[in-house]
A = this chain, B = another copy of it.
Amino acid sequence: MEATIAITEAEHKKTKPDPETLQFGKTFTDHMFTMEYTEEKGWIYPEIKPYAPVEIDPAAMVFHYSQSVFEGLKAYKGPEGDIILFRPEENFKRMNRSNRRLRIPPINEELVLDYLRQLLELEKDWVPSAEGTSLYIRPFVIATEPSLQVAPARSYKFLIILSPVGSYYPEGIHPVSIMVEDHFTRAARGGTGTAKTGGNYSSGYTAQSKASSEGHAQVLWLDGVEKKYIEEVGSMNVFFKIDGEIVTPELNDSILEGITRKSVIELLEYWNIPVVEKRITMQEILKAYDEGRLEEAFGSGTAAVISPIGELHWKEHTLIVNGRDTGETTKSLYQTLTSIQTGKEDDPFNWTTKIKL
């Protein structure tokens, strides 16, 4: 599908940043994609234009009631110079699931993927090629109707912005320390935890700040009801290897359905490594640890792909996982996923979408 779209090129192009010093999500490319939604006309005015501030009414509902959703995915420069996307159709499917939860009108997933393709073609020189680098893609929807009524908006803006990002592991993949959060809650049963909506993120700042001040990289969230069951790590899904079997919390309405999580499960099944989705208590992890059966632990997400966990801190307990080394399965998953994502390895799953230039 080739979707028609208005394109205005930037007159002055920015200087590309040094890939060595790139920080996550701080530098943006020359162009962005925008479209509008009105109740009468649906999604209209698809447009690629110079990256610039947007003009928004101060009464726009996104400012007051946070009616918004977002997605995050990465584009890599392939070995033959093409641009490789990893399961992008999954991101737009999930965006529509988030839209439904937040009462935002659905987008046309195929059309939006084509808009993204056209934006990436224009911004092809922004996709970095150094080891570990990529172009981070942020599609998002915000409620723009100027109204203070507590109700779904009647107008929205959809945007895609692009940010070149450096390697998540400039000094090589290394395990991190995680604090299990006993007081604060990320998401509750019946809440918005499965949706990628802003409110799930700023609500975690206090817990993250507590963890950081105690020297931990991330928070491990427990369920909002009993504070017993493991949900997520920071903004990643979480996996444990116990007695050779990989376990991960089963999806419920407070866990984000990660695309990397899904790929990890599919890859493990392909490798014939047993993988189980179930409710897991922190107590079970502690027991496995005490009995010497906790072999590995890692998080999965778009930013880090795979993030090994070296320490878990829960109440008075400290669990040192695999002697603070990256485990074998963790390492294989990271290697294989990043090699498929960057086109260095065959893609038996047909996960990647290649944009030929």
User: Which residues of A does B touch, CB under 8 Å?
Assistant: 23-26, 28, 32, 51, 53-59, 62-68, 70, 72, 101-103, 136, 138, 140, 142-143, 146-152, 159, 161, 163, 183-185, 187-192, 197-206, 208-209, 224-227, 234-235
Q: Give chain B residues whose Cβ lies under 8 Å from the Cβ of A64.
A: 68, 70, 138, 140, 198, 201
Q: Are A202 and B66 in touch, CB under 8 angstroms?
A: yes
A161–B189 CA distance with the chains assembled, in angstroms: 35
Q: Are A205 and B161 in touch, CB under 8 angstroms?
A: no
Q: Give chain B residues whose Cβ lies under 8 Å from the Cβ of A23.
A: 149
Q: Are A26 and B147 in touch, CB under 8 angstroms?
A: yes
Q: Give chain B residues whose Cβ lies under 8 Å from the Cβ of A190.
A: 183-185, 224, 227
Q: Are A103 and B58 in touch, CB under 8 angstroms?
A: no
A226–B191 CA distance with the chains assembled, in angstroms: 14
For the complex formed, measure the closest distance between the CB of A113 and the CB atoms of chain B, giving whole angstroms: 20
Copy number in this complex? Answer: 2
A338–B188 CA distance with the chains assembled, in angstroms: 37
For the complex formed, measure the closest distance between the CB of A307 and the CB atoms of chain B, giving whole angstroms: 14
Q: Are A192 and B203 in touch, CB under 8 angstroms?
A: yes
Q: Give chain B residues whose Cβ lies under 8 Å from the Cβ of A163.
A: 59, 148
- CB-defined A-B contacts under 8 Å, sample of 5: A54-B57, A63-B142, A66-B68, A197-B202, A199-B202
Q: A26-B147, A68-B66 are in contact. Are A103 and B161 (CB under 8 A)?
A: no
Q: Are A200 and B202 in touch, CB under 8 angstroms?
A: no
Q: Give chain B residues whose Cβ lies under 8 Å from the Cβ of A58.
A: 28, 32, 51, 53-54, 159, 161
Q: Which of A24, A209, A224 has the most CB of B within 10 A?
A: A224
Q: Give chain B residues whose Cβ lies under 8 Å from the Cβ of A227.
A: 190
Q: Which of A51, A55, A142, A148 has the most CB of B within 10 A?
A: A148
Q: Are B191 and A203 in touch, CB under 8 angstroms?
A: yes
Q: Are A202 and B67 in touch, CB under 8 angstroms?
A: yes
Q: Are B199 and A101 in touch, CB under 8 angstroms?
A: no
Which of B152, B159, B200 has a CB less than 8 Å from the CB of A205?
A: B152
| Nearest-CB residue, chain B, relative to A234 | B150
Which of B183, B187, B198, B205 has a CB less than 8 Å from the CB of A103?
A: B205
Q: Give chain B residues whose Cβ lies under 8 Å from the Cβ of A204.
A: 150
A147–B136 CA distance with the chains assembled, in angstroms: 12
Q: Give chain B residues whose Cβ lies under 8 Å from the Cβ of A55.
A: 53-55
For the complex formed, measure the closest distance between the CB of A60 and the CB atoms of chain B, giving whole angstroms: 9
| Nearest-CB residue, chain B, relative to A199 | B199
Q: Are B201 and A65 in touch, CB under 8 angstroms?
A: yes
For the complex formed, measure the closest distance between the CB of A339 and the CB atoms of chain B, giving whole angstroms: 25
Q: Which of A103, A188, A204 has the most CB of B within 10 A?
A: A188
A209–B53 CA distance with the chains assembled, in angstroms: 33
A55–B52 CA distance with the chains assembled, in angstroms: 9
Q: Are A201 and B68 in touch, CB under 8 angstroms?
A: no
